[in-house]
């Protein structure tokens, strides 16, 4: 029964996200021919930086700002493009005093045709649970693929962790592949899950050897919850943040249904890396390959988006938890590599009746530019027209509806709330075709990708409901909830540009 449910979603979604880019040596994605072409809407002025890159090389912050526009602002120059647009809520979202804001960011740099040299640590969970469903067997097959595809200009270390961390091969040039393959053969399942020990050792290995010009990255794979060593989510996130400050990235991969996706996502974001949900053991080699394919030097580091509001309040940030309406929100993005992009979507509430204060939205993008050695800050401001005069922008409302539907489905799965599940199904039924048709008509590849992801998730839910998995199978529900979380992550975080 579960075999029917377990569709190869990670491969499908990643293929969808890549959008058919050609693949170069070691699977390095070729640059799209026009990675940012659709970022310049007609009749909208471009905001230029106030000072040149020469100032940034001296450690000076670059600040760009502009007077408010009605509903759209774009900043194009430099390594990161920023676009912010407003929309009234869609027909299925009640509330005349609410406004949606969509903030898109994208790297303008093209991917190089030759991959960079790598200094990577493979940090492998060897706990007892990895023996189930041949998870360890597939993980070791993925590690062998990594070794086979590295050169003697690359640096590799191998760490396994159960009750404690074991260094199977200290960081060194990949000059003796038979030895490295032999060390993998010595890994057997045993012990609990001391994730912090494995993570710390992997970070130490990557930082122990001088490797100028190398991309330094820890790749951590686990199938369980941290139950030995440091188990606090906040402490694990701090470990990744400290590694990032030392120019060591951390990417995480979770396999199965027992790990905490929120913790692995937080570690990856704090470490400037990527989170990957690996639904089945068979997908582990593909997940390793996809991560290595995307290992490019960051074009922006320590990125944040600061959303501020006057004349109203921020009522909802999609994918985030807000206890109450607020006037300002700061969203940590981490690092962005060449060809990557993402978005932030929020719902705003105008001030109450009788208020004379007009709504004004401020969007500030802040990041460190590793090429010029300075911090860059860009600020755009938007001011919607009078209440009732703001048009609906389907590029905003359709994505909002998709993300809202995924949130509803995930909440229903976690709480066995069949009423909310039924509401999500009704929402999905009409949303997919509408999004798909609009995307094709306007040639919006990102929206088409999002519609594809929604259709795939709808199929997963239909199979689960038909086979009765939503009621009596906790593992099936947990996997679907993880898939919903991962789809939302892919739709908003670090996705390759179409």
Q: What are the residue ranges spanned by the domains of the chain?
A: 59-107+299-390, 116-295, 395-496
- What pLDDT score was predicted for residue 147? 92
303: β partners: 334
Report pLDDT for 497.
53
pLDDT at 6: 32
Q: Which carries the bigger pLDDT value, residue 494 or residue 365?
A: 365
**Would you say domain 116-295 falls under CATH 1.10.150.530?**
no
Of residues 48 and 83, more confidently modeled: 83
DSSP helix/strand/coil, 33: coil
pLDDT of residue 494: 62
The whole-angstrom separation of Cα 366 and Cα 372 is 14
Helix (H, G, I), strand (E, B) or coil at 272: strand
- Give the pLDDT of residue 20: 28
Question: Residue range 30-48: average pLDDT?
Answer: 28
Mean pLDDT over each residue of the chain, to the nearest integer? 76
Phi, psi for residue 207 in degrees, rounded to 5: -90, -10
8-state DSSP, 72 = E
The pLDDT value recorded for residue 318 is 87
- What share of the chain has pLDDT > 70, as a percent? 73
Residues contacting 478, CB < 8 A, separation 6+: 257, 258
- Cβ contact 230:196 at 8 Å: yes
Mean pLDDT of 330-348: 88
- Across 118-127, 276-285, 450-459, least confident range: 450-459
Tokens representing 447 are 């929206």
Q: What is the pLDDT of residue 50?
A: 28
Average pLDDT over residues 60-82: 66
Q: Write the pLDDT tens digit of every residue in 375-387.
A: 999 889 998 877 6
Q: What is the pLDDT of residues 482-492, one digit of tens each?
A: 877 787 777 77
Question: What's the rounded mean pLDDT across residues 469-483?
Answer: 67
The fold adopted by the segment(s) 59-107+299-390 is Immunoglobulin-like (2.60.40)
| Mean pLDDT to the nearest integer, 437-466 | 74
Choose the weakest-confidence range: 206-210, 388-392, 399-403, 416-420.
416-420
Please compute, for residue 139, the number of CA atoms within 13 A of its CA located in the half-sphere on the CB side: 32
Residue 173 binned pLDDT confidence (cut-offs 50, 70, 90): very high
Which one-letter DSSP state was computed for residue 213?
Answer: T
Asked if the model's pLDDT at residue 55 lies above 90, the reply is no
pLDDT at 447 over 70: yes
């Amino acid at each position: 029964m579960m075999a029917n449910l377990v569709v190869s979603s990670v491969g499908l979604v990643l293929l969808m996200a890549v959008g058919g880019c050609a693949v170069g040596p070691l699977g390095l994605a070729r640059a799209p021919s026009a990675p940012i072409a659709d970022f310049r809407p007609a009749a909208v002025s471009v905001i230029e930086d106030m000072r040149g890159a020469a100032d940034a090389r001296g450690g000076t912050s670059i600040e760009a700002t502009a007077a408010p526009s009605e509903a759209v602002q774009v900043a194009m120059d430099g390594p990161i493009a920023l676009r912010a647009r407003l929309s009234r809520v869609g027909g299925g979202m009640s509330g005349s005093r609410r406004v949606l804001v969509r903030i898109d960011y994208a790297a303008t740099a093209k991917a190089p045709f030759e991959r960079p040299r790598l200094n990577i640590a493979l940090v492998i969970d060897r706990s007892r649970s990895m023996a189930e469903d041949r998870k360890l067997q597939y993980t070791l097959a993925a590690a062998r693929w990594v070794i086979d595809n590295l050169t003697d200009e690359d640096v590799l270390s191998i760490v396994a962790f159960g009750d404690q961390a074991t260094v199977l091969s200290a960081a060194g040039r990949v000059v003796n592949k038979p030895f490295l393959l032999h060390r993998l053969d010595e890994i057997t399942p045993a012990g609990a899950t001391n994730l912090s020990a494995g993570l710390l050792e992997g970070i130490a290995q990557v930082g122990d050897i001088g490797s100028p010009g190398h991309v330094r990255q820890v790749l951590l794979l686990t199938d369980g919850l941290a139950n030995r060593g440091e188990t606090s989510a906040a402490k694990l996130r701090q470990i990744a943040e400290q590694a990032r400050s030392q120019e060591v990235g951390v990417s995480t991969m979770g396999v199965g249904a027992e790990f905490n996706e929120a913790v692995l996502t937080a570690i990856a974001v704090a470490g400037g890396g990527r989170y990957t949900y690996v639904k089945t053991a068979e997908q582990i080699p593909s997940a390793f390959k996809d991560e290595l394919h995307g290992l490019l030097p960051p074009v922006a580091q320590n990125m944040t988006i600061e959303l501020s509001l006057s004349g109203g309040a921020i009522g909802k940030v999609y994918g985030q938890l807000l206890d109450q309406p607020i006037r300002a929100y700061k969203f940590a993005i981490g690092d962005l590599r060449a060809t990557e992009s993402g978005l932030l979507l929020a719902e705003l509430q105008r001030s109450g009746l009788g208020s004379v204060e007009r709504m004004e939205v401020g969007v500030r993008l802040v990041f460190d530019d590793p090429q010029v050695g300075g911090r860059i800050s860009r600020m755009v401001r938007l001011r919607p027209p009078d209440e009732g005069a703001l048009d609906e922008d389907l590029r905003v409302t359709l994505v909002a509806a998709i993300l809202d539907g995924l949130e509803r489905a995930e909440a229903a799965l976690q709480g066995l709330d069949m009423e909310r599940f039924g509401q999500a199904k009704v929402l999905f039924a009409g949303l997919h075709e509408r999004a798909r048709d609009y995307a094709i008509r306007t040639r919006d590849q990102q929206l088409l990708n999002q519609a594809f992801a929604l259709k795939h998730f709808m199929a997963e839910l239909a199979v689960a409901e038909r086979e009765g998995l939503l009621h009596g199978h906790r593992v099936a529900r947990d996997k679907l909830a993880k898939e919903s979380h991962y789809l939302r992550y892919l739709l908003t975080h670090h996705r390759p540009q179409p």
